[in-house]
Amino acid sequence: MKRSSAIIMPLYALPSPHGIGTMGKAAHDFVDFLADAGQSWWQLLPVGPTSFGDSPYQSPSAFAGNPYLIDLDELVADSLLTQDEVDSPDWGDDPARVDYAKLYASRAKVLRLAFERGFARDAEKVARFRAQNASWIEDYALFMAIKRHFGMRSWIEWDDPAIRMREPGALDSYREALADQVDFNVYVQYLFFGQWERLRAYARSKHIGIIGDLPIYVALDSADVWAEPQWFELDERHVPTSVAGVPPDCFSADGQLWGNPLYDYDAMAADGYGWWKRRIAGAAKLYDVIRIDHFRGFESFWSVPYGEKTARHGRWVKGPGMDLVGTLERAFPTLEFIAEDLGYHTPEVERLLDDSGFPGMKVLEFAFDSRDASPFLPHGFVPNSTCYVGTHDNQTLMGWAAEADPADVALARAYFGLNDEEGFTWGFIRGGMSSVSKLFAAQMQDYLGLGAEARTNTPGTLGGNWQWRMLPNQTTTELSERIASMTRLYGRRAS
């Protein structure tokens, strides 16, 4: 990766008249904005289907695309929907927020109309898509069909133990009974990946690469765990024995109980990490650079007994380390990775980062602690690193300035020489843009100077997250020119 810069902007946060950002015109327009702003990269959050809590980091599939992100106007242009059909549902009355309840109530019904008109018409292309994605698409489509059959309950709560345990006779029976719903789920994925390929090709034509997030764990309630339980720490009833989290720290006395099933790394190693190779190959169909979330979990991970209410009673367990990381590097020699190495650091984690050669992350909002020296101050950076103003889990810069200890804000002002004429956010961005890190990234909210109302996610909370959306008139020519000027000044301008 050359010296360059990125803007973090969730796809769902783009403007759209239908309740959520999609892969349609607004996405192509945002690519144009990035190009005009001299950027090299568009950094996204995961684009898989969302489930309870609406988090893109808790998906029913590590491979599928989110049906909400399918652009309905493109389906109108393709004669799969009418304009009235996409305009009639109530998609929400606040263009600055995603209303997931209204999306859930209407989006599948509208896509069902497209399926009824297009499945037979596109039969040959759909069959080819199924064959190309055979390693995951049939299991995912059947899983979602059965999940709907059982009222969207988690698969470990399904009333039929035979299908929960994937007995061959039960699989055949449900495939036959739910064939129409299975075909619908496949067709929706066919639509998603068709639009994604067109968007990605457009980004490439504008010399914009896509950086995507890869959550280290998959959700318990996912087709991945249901279809391939042999790769996870489950008992004979396919119930987890231990789950993921992070230990108590100065921010949380109980730690964080994520609840994801842990990998059976011994079984994976014996198989040559085939599941991980397939997962990375799937991500490579979407992204040009992959940011591995919770990279330190490859060195060692916090294991909490299943059923615990907090993460207090967990323990550290040794991870696969370079055995897995090296396998992935050899399998994907041209793919670039970023290691999200935030959190509890040890010499072993730092050694794994060094051995991998992946750039780690430096977050400027963590840099200013008036009580102690911080490893996130730019004067200590090395080139093989990525500098972020903040991630999706951080406050916006203006929100941080309002909530942080005044002494920390004063330290930031002194360090970066912030002044009212330039503006707080622009001076902060300048400080990161001028660092030696080969990649610099800032959230779109910070370029827009937005406050706490535009925060993407507050970790450890349920509700109110993943909702902020940009308004149509906010990406101005003046803004792109100002970003481009700073990007050029500090040698990050895309050629």
Tell me the Cα Rg of the chain.
Answer: 23
**Cβ(367)–Cβ(338) below 8 Å:** no
**Cβ(214)–Cβ(293) below 8 Å:** yes
Catalytic residue among 340, 341, 408, 446: 340
Distances (CA, A) of 12 to 16, 22, 55: 9, 6, 12
CA 106 to chain CA centroid, nearest Å? 24
**Local structure of residue 232 (DSSP, 8 states):** B
300-305 and 315-318 beta bridge pairing: antiparallel
Helices H, strands E: what count in the chain?
19, 12
H or E element in which residue 109 lies: helix 100-118
**Cβ(354)–Cβ(380) below 8 Å:** no
**How many other CB atoms are there within 10 angstroms of residue 28's CB atom?**
16
Rounded Cα distance, 214 and 225, in Å: 17
CA angle at 302 for the pair 298 and 304, rounded to the nearest 5°: 140
Give yes or no: 254 in active site.
Answer: no
**How many other CB atoms are there within 10 angstroms of residue 331's CB atom?**
15
Give yes or no: 93 in active site.
Answer: no
Catalytic residue among 293, 299, 341, 365: 293
**Cβ(245)–Cβ(302) below 8 Å:** yes
Tokens of 317: 């367990």
Give yes or no: 340 in active site.
Answer: yes
Distances (CA, A) of 239 to 275, 431, 448: 20, 48, 46
Q: Which residues are catalytic?
A: 293, 340, 393
